[in-house]
């Protein structure tokens, strides 16, 4: 079936074996032992030297992040392996795109010879079997897709029957010791669930409940279940208001099986998307409840009554750029208006807000205006150092001269006056909306102040142009003024700030650290 390998001593062989749960249904011929036996027989017959055998038992062929496969790739990168042998092409993988990548690009580039025994594929020789390899890969991929559909259909059917098919039951429950796909109350933590509902029924907020549990060092659901949450953050292992809110609205606690809240993108991806509530699979009365329905409904109404209490968000220049130096999380903004009622924003650490009594971070409270002005001053200083005003002068002079040719002072004044008239008309419309109740007093006041500032700015420009008509300014002086205005105003552009600044860090002792995106600017700061 194969040509004789003329130079067996030149090869260091990797024997790769893979078996998934789906492959077990095909019979014992796909077993790990059978694959090893076939591969070892081949290498002995051709007097090949085996560097190592790599076995991924229980791993899908659509996933190429298999531990042993990646170890084999590491040995190829280290030039310890230059031949890979599998029983058939599907053992290498069932994703035709990735399989083709390794077959057509990776192995040839690394000078690795690949042999698939049952398919007759050998990249070390010219063979018609190699020509149809892409079609074999597609067929293997279609098989994986078909298996995925069947498994998904079986799981969906079990969900509709109220059988639990998840990995870990909801906190407060555990798997039935004898019956498959059934959950029972976990008496070890069920009292915690009942207590959470009792505290909520007493009017305690989700945040306060979380603080109480953290103070008492009650293990979180993830900690109790022994789930590895991956990256450890400053509040890992702590209860959060979001977790409490999710539990208080979960119908699992009244005996209903709730599943299908998220779905995988497809059979090739592990990424999941959350499903809308109407797509969930809910089956009533499948297990013993921890909470009675009356209590559950009262708690749900209490939780829903506190929703949307903060309907207003705030816009500020450093939005999305400023983070806590200590914990690395974005800072939140809170409004502490004085007696006059105007907005006065403060930055505070979001981690501190959520876990105040846990002591994982500090408040970092600082006035937004103070931080913004400090950042702008630094950016302006860096821009003035980096940009030479003398080099901008000729460009500005040319622009001024061109503008003077294009339009007169009268035209510009008329344009500004039209803008003022438009703002006045808008203000009149806003006032009528206020009288009819379509616009709240607070919103009208905010819009009025903004339009008033804009009209004042336009009026000042008109007065400036009128003065220039009486006392014309030279092109050189006007150009200098434009250059300085550019250096002053460009730094207040959010687009410019986002382009220049990667992030702004606020430290516990109120120090402001600016991280620029460019090394040249870092050196100037």
pLDDT of residue 82: 93
% of the chain with per-residue pLDDT over 90: 11
Condensed to tens digits (0 to 9), the pLDDT of residues 439-482 reads 778 777 888 888 888 888 888 888 877 776 665 555 555 555 55
pLDDT of residue 490: 56
Confidence tier at 8 by pLDDT (50, 70, 90): confident
pLDDT of residue 48 exceeding 80, the answer is yes
Q: Pick from 391, 310, 363: which is nearest to 506 by CA?
A: 363
Specify the 3-state DSSP secondary structure of 57: strand
In this predicted structure, which of 20-24, 211-215, 227-231, 425-429 has the lowest mean pLDDT? 227-231
In angstroms, the CA 297 to CA 407 distance is: 70
Position 93 scores a pLDDT of 86
Region 112-118 average pLDDT: 89
Q: Is the pLDDT of residue 28 over 60?
A: no
For residue 308, pLDDT over 60 is answered with no
Instruction: Name which of 223, 237, 230, 228 is nearest 189 in CA terms.
Output: 223
| Residues in CB range of 338: below 8 A, 6 or more apart | 344
In terms of Cβ atoms closer than 10 Å to its own Cβ (0-12, 13-18, 19+), residue 45 is exposed
Give me the pLDDT at residue 23, please: 60
CA distance 114 to 53: 15
pLDDT in the model for residue 304: 73
Task: Please state, rounded to an integer, the average pLDDT across all residues of the chain.
Answer: 77
- Is pLDDT of 525 > 50? yes
**CA–CA separation, 352 vs 330, rounded Å?**
11
Q: What is the reported pLDDT for 406?
A: 44
**Are 516 and 525 within 8 A, CB to CB?**
yes
Each residue's pLDDT tens digit, 478-516: 555 555 565 566 566 666 677 677 888 888 888 888 887
- pLDDT value at position 128? 54
Q: Once rounded to an integer, what is the mean pLDDT over residues 289-317?
A: 74
* Residue, of 252 and 355, whose pLDDT is higher: 252
- Rounded CA separation 371/497 (Å): 14
Domains of the chain: 8-146 (3.40.50.1390), 173-305 (3.90.1750.20), 371-524 (no CATH)
Confidence band (pLDDT; 50, 70, 90) for 1?
Answer: very low
Question: Is the model more confident about 462 or about 67?
Answer: 67
Give the pLDDT confidence of 264-277 residue by residue, as tens digits.
665 555 667 778 88
Q: How far is residue 231 from each of residues 228, 234, 271, 349, 503, measured CA to CA in Å?
A: 9, 10, 17, 20, 21
Helices (H), 104-220: 107-109, 128-131, 133-160, 190-201, 206-215
61, exposed or middle or buried, with CB in 10 Å at 0-12, 13-18, 19+? buried
CA distance 277 to 274: 9
Residue 388 has pLDDT above 70, yes or no: no
pLDDT of the residue at 295: 86
Q: Is the pLDDT of residue 146 over 80?
A: no
- Burial call 214-241: b when 16+ CB within 10 Å, e when fewer: beeebebbeebeeeeeeeeebbeebbbb
pLDDT tens digits, 319-374: 778 888 888 778 877 777 776 666 778 888 877 777 766 667 877 788 888 888 88
User: Interior CA angle at 39 toward 37 and 41, to 5°?
Assistant: 70
Lowest-pLDDT choice from 163-177, 187-201, 230-244, 437-451: 230-244
Residue 51 vs residue 25, higher pLDDT: 51
Could you read off the pLDDT of 70-101 as tens digits, one per residue? 999 999 999 999 999 999 888 898 887 788 88
Residue 123 has pLDDT above 70, yes or no: yes
Task: Give the residues across from 147 on adjacent strands.
Answer: none
Q: Which two tokens stand for residue 286?
A: 């499948």
Q: Where are the alpha helices (DSSP H) in 161-267?
A: 190-201, 206-215, 221-225, 241-248
Please give the average per-residue pLDDT across 129-145, as a whole number: 58
What's the whole-number mean pLDDT along residues 105-112? 90
pLDDT, mean of residues 421-443: 79
- pLDDT given at position 73: 94
Of all residues in the chain, the percent with pLDDT exceeding 70 is: 72
């Amino acid at each position: 079936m194969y040509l004789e390998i003329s130079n067996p001593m030149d090869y260091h062989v990797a024997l790769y074996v893979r078996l998934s749960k789906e492959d077990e249904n095909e019979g014992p011929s796909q077993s790990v032992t059978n694959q090893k036996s076939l591969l070892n027989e081949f290498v002995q017959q051709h007097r090949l030297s085996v560097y190592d055998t790599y076995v991924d038992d229980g791993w899908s062929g659509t996933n190429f992040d298999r531990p042993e496969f990646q170890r084999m790739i590491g040995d190829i990168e280290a030039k310890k392996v230059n031949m890979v042998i599998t029983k058939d092409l599907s053992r290498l993988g069932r994703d035709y795109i990735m399989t083709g990548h390794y077959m057509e690009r990776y192995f040839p580039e690394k000078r690795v010879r690949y042999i698939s025994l049952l398919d007759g594929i050998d990249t070390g020789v010219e063979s018609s079997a190699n020509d149809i390899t892409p079609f074999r890969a597609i067929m293997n991929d279609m098989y994986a897709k078909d298996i995925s559909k069947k498994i998904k259909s079986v799981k969906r059917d079990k969900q509709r029957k109220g059988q639990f098919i998840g990995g870990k039951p909801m906190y407060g429950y555990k798997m039935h010791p004898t019956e498959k796909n059934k959950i029972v109350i976990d008496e070890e933590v069920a009292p915690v669930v009942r207590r959470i509902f009792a505290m909520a029924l007493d009017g305690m907020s989700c945040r306060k409940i979380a603080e109480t549990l953290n103070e008492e060092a009650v293990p979180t659901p993830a900690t109790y279940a022994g789930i590895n949450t991956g990256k450890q953050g400053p509040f890992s292992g702590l209860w959060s208001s979001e977790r409490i809110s999710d539990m208080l609205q979960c119908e699992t606690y009244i005996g209903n099986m709730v599943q299908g809240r998220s779905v995988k993108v497809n059979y090739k991806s592990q990424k999941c998307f959350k499903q809308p509530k109407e797509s969930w699979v809910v089956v009533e009365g499948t297990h013993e409840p921890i909470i009675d329905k009356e209590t559950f409904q009262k708690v749900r109404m209490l939780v829903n009554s506190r929703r949307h209490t903060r309907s207003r968000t705030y816009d500020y220049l450093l939005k999305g750029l400023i983070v806590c130096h200590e914990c690395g999380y974005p800072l939140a903004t809170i409004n502490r208006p004085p007696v006059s009622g105007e907005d006065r924003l403060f930055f505070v650490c979001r981690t501190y807000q959520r876990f105040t009594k846990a002591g994982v971070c500090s408040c970092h409270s600082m006035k937004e205006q103070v931080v913004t002005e400090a950042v702008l001053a630094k950016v302006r200083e860096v821009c003035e150092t980096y940009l030479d005003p003398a080099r901008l002068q000729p460009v500005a002079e040319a622009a001024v001269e061109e503008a003077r040719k294009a339009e007169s002072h009268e035209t510009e004044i008329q344009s500004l006056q039209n803008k003022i008239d438009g703002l006045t008309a808008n203000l009149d419309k806003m006032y009528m909306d206020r009288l009819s109740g379509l616009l709240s007093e607070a919103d009208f006041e905010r819009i009025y102040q903004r339009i008033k500032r804009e009209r004042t700015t336009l009026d000042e420009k008109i007065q400036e142009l009128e003065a220039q008509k009486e006392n014309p300014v030279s092109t050189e002086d006007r150009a200098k003024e434009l250059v300085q205005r550019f250096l002053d105003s460009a730094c207040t552009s959010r687009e410019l700030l986002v382009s220049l600044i990667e992030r702004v860090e606020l430290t516990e002792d109120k120090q402001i650290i600016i991280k620029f995106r460019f090394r040249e600017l870092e050196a100037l700061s």
